[in-house]
Amino acid sequence: MSGPLTGVKVVELAGLGALPFGTLKLADMGADVIRVNRTSEVPAELPTPLNEAADRSEVRVLDPSVEAEIVRRIDQAKQAGDTLGGEVEVVARGVVVGLGSHVSWDRKLDGRLAGLLMSIPAVKGVEIGLGFEAARRPGSGVHDPIDAGTAAPPTGGDARGGFRRRSNNAGGLEGGITTGEPVVCRVAMKPISTLMSPLPTVDLVSGGPANAQSERSDVTAVPALGVIAEAMVAIALADAMLEKFGGDSLGEMRRNYHDYVAALGSRWTAARATGTTGGAE
């Protein structure tokens, strides 16, 4: 399968279940949609094919050393009548440079991603790239140095425009625009509210103290969050693709995309030829 999003890897971590519409839309345009559960750290180099690696784990984690601990904590919370929250990380690989906009607050792609992800019920936090950790570091430990890509001057077909970042602390987005590096979003979900060991509350009739109603409750909804977070990222990226390359048909969109990628780097090549290059920031 080939198309405008060929090579995009939408990695939804902690996801199970059927693919939502947004992800199917990406798949129709050439994306590979894959899932794996999130552990404390996601490997810098994700294996290929990713689904086969994830399928080896009962809870779809890439690090087998933490699988037993994850299962143990879930079982422990269930026995205690408690619930667990968690984090989901969504990584989109192969996203072309230049999606989104720096012009207006409502068109910034990072803002749109954050808004969609925060709209998911029980989500209490969203990070892109380093996220809150960026606030704790000096600028020299946050900003990503830029190098020329493998081809200098760049050749047509390089979705990163002939540049690469030595690191990806920005999470693939700078100034509301994709950089060509993987888009990395993390989502924090609170524990399920309904507990098998209810917490104190107030009786609305008497006004006196009472215990909350004890109802059936799952231990965690993080696996379901993964599916939804994947869909939200997929919708945001597909929407940005349509804004930039859209036409009257998918075929026209594909042509627009391929023409755009083929032209990436041409400005740099022309500037080098005339000696008018400056630093990329």
Quote the pLDDT of residue 279: 57
198 or 208, which is more confident?
Answer: 208
Residue 38 has pLDDT above 60, yes or no: no
Quote the pLDDT of residue 219: 87
As a whole number, the mean pLDDT across the chain is 77
Residue 39 has pLDDT above 50, yes or no: no
Alpha-carbon dihedral of residues 164, 33, 236, 173, nearest 10 degrees?
Answer: -20
Report the candidate in 20, 4, 118 with the shortest Cα–Cα distance to residue 12.
20
Rounded average pLDDT over 156-164: 76
| Cα–Cα distance for residue pair 142/127, rounded to 1 Å | 14
Report the candidate in 222, 159, 220 with the shortest Cα–Cα distance to residue 186.
222
Residue 120 has pLDDT above 90, yes or no: yes
Distances (CA, A) of 184 to 42, 47, 58, 108, 228: 11, 16, 24, 15, 15
pLDDT band at 50 (very low <50, low <70, confident <90, very high): low
Rounded average pLDDT over 106-118: 94
pLDDT band at 134 (very low <50, low <70, confident <90, very high): very high
Quote the pLDDT of residue 172: 92
* pLDDT above 90 coverage of the chain, percent: 26
Residue 33 has pLDDT above 50, yes or no: no
pLDDT band at 278 (very low <50, low <70, confident <90, very high): low
Domains of the chain, earliest start first: 9-194+218-274 (3.60.150.10)
Quote the pLDDT of residue 49: 66
131 or 226, which is more confident?
Answer: 131
Do residues 92 and 13 lie in contact, with contact meaning Cβ atoms separated by under 8 Å?
no
Rounded average pLDDT over 145-174: 78
Which segment of 135-139, 175-179, 246-250 scores lowest on mean pLDDT?
A: 246-250
Quote the pLDDT of residue 124: 95
Quote the pLDDT of residue 224: 77
Which segment of 98-107, 158-167, 170-179 scores lowest on mean pLDDT?
A: 158-167
Distances (CA, A) of 150 to 66, 153, 155: 36, 9, 9
Structure tokens at 263: 């032209």
SS3 at position 162: coil
Long-range contact set of residues 246-254: C-beta below 8 Å, sequence gap at least 24: 250/3, 250/28, 250/29, 253/4, 253/29, 254/3, 254/4, 254/29
Rounded average pLDDT over 198-224: 85
| Cα–Cα distance for residue pair 232/50, rounded to 1 Å | 21
pTM for the whole structure: 0.78
pLDDT band at 171 (very low <50, low <70, confident <90, very high): very high
10 or 190, which is more confident?
Answer: 190
pLDDT band at 30 (very low <50, low <70, confident <90, very high): very low
